[in-house]
Amino acid sequence: MKNWLFFIMATLVYFSSIYVVYASHHPLRHSDNSCNSTVIRKGEGCFVYKAKSSNFSIPVYYYLPNKLQEDTQVLFTMHGEKRNAQDYRNDWINIYKSNSDQHTSFILLAPQFEQKWFPKAVGYNLGNMFTEDLKILNPRNKWAFTEVENIFTFVKKTTEVKADNYYIYGHSAGAQFVHRMVIFMPNAHIKKAVAAEAGSYTIPDENREYPCGLKKLTGEQLSSVDLKKTFAIPMRIILGTKDNKILPSEHDSYACDTQQGSNRLARGEYFYTQIKSIVHNKKEDFNWTLKKVTATHIIANTNPPLEDPMLVSCAALEFFPKLTSVNCK
């Protein structure tokens, strides 16, 4: 009997040690359950923002500098379809910590739009403008775009940062979110936007049906879009030249996705070409630009899928050109 007890205890000790070693080398990438603070402290952390529109909260992973400067900026980074905001926050922290220009200061915010409150592509990629069937237009205060503005207001009040506007970066589904926010909320406090590697685009064309364009054939209609203000917002479209693999059919949610191209590179090029044609016909001032870099969509063999660091580096230079330690090519 004693021998059996000794064997059981030894086995438990052995597997406990294995778990400790594994955990130390494989830290959890998601810690939503620990994100319950309503206070923003110096350094990196997570706070919960109580949404004004409903009775739920949005986890916001953040980095707050030890000391705010007169020119401290605010930067939002928008996650992809895996909704792993913590990973996106960490990618930008790596940029921050490797920064050779110590005068660049920014507050980093990575809100996590959870499936429960912002379901599927309609809830996040399309900004929660419509109900899931795309028939009923939600009130503007329920749009996911609006929550970004609300979080900015909350952080300004809480930290007393002096910035009057913010930078916003989105990758993949986050890039869908960002470019649509620029289109449909041109009065937002966006200083500059970067959309990298979107898989689907809304072209601000009144002859194409939403979400491919601005025309709404069924259900409630879209409100008019002020393209003059939309095109005046500085936005950079970043495309990876290595991201030319054909997208699987399950990726395409709308009829226009395949019409825009078979891969992300082709779709981004198509989108920008169409935009330039619209601007030319309307004679609008145009502050959108396109940049192609030697990047792919995600790093191979990562779980959850993580964005190519080159995309973050190139976005960082768009916002902070003095970052001499950042490489973008």
Give this prediction's pTM. 0.88
Residue 93 lies in a domain: yes
Degrees, nearest 5: CA angle 137-259-78? 55
Structure-model confidence comparison of residues 318 and 256, the more confident one:
318
Judge whether 22 lies within some domain.
no
Whether 241 maps to a domain, the answer reads: yes
pLDDT above 70 for 54: yes
Confidence (pLDDT) at 216: 93
Would the pLDDT of 30 be above 50?
no
Answer yes or no: is 327 within a domain.
no
pLDDT of residue 135: 94
> Which residues lie below 8 Å from residue 135, measured CB to CB, with a gap of 6+?
218, 219, 220
Average pLDDT over residues 242-264: 86
Please tell me the distance from the alpha carbon of residue 179 to that of residue 183, in angstroms, as a whole number.
6
8 within a domain of the structure (yes/no): no
Which whole-number Å values give the CA distances from 28 to 7, 22, 25, 103, in the listed order? 31, 11, 10, 32
Give the pLDDT band (50/70/90) at residue 2: very low
Mean pLDDT within 179-200: 97
Q: Examine the pLDDT at 29 and tell me if it is beyond 60.
A: no
Structure confidence at residue 14 as a pLDDT band (50, 70, 90):
very low
Residues 238-261, mean pLDDT to the nearest whole number: 87
CB atoms within 10 A of CB 288: 21
Judged by DSSP in three states, 74 sits in strand
Q: Looking at the domain assignment, is residue 207 inside a domain?
A: yes
Domain contains 17: no
* 112-140 residue pLDDT tens: 999 999 999 999 999 999 999 999 999 99
Mean pLDDT computed over 227-245: 95
- The answer to the question of residue 244 being in a domain is yes
Count how many domains the chain has. 1
Separation of CA 162 from chain center: 23
Provide the domain limits for residue 69. Answer: 33-319
Indicate the pLDDT class of residue 12, thresholds 50, 70 and 90: very low
Which H or E element spans position 194? strand 190-196
Residue 232 CA to its chain's centroid (Å):
21
Structural tokens at position 270: 């198509």
Residue 18 has pLDDT above 50, yes or no: no
Whole-number Å distance between alpha carbons of 212 and 231: 18
Per the prediction, the chain carries an average pLDDT of 87
Q: Write the pLDDT tens digit of every residue in 65-97.
A: 999 999 999 999 999 999 999 999 999 998 888
**Residue 45's CATH number:** 3.40.50.1820
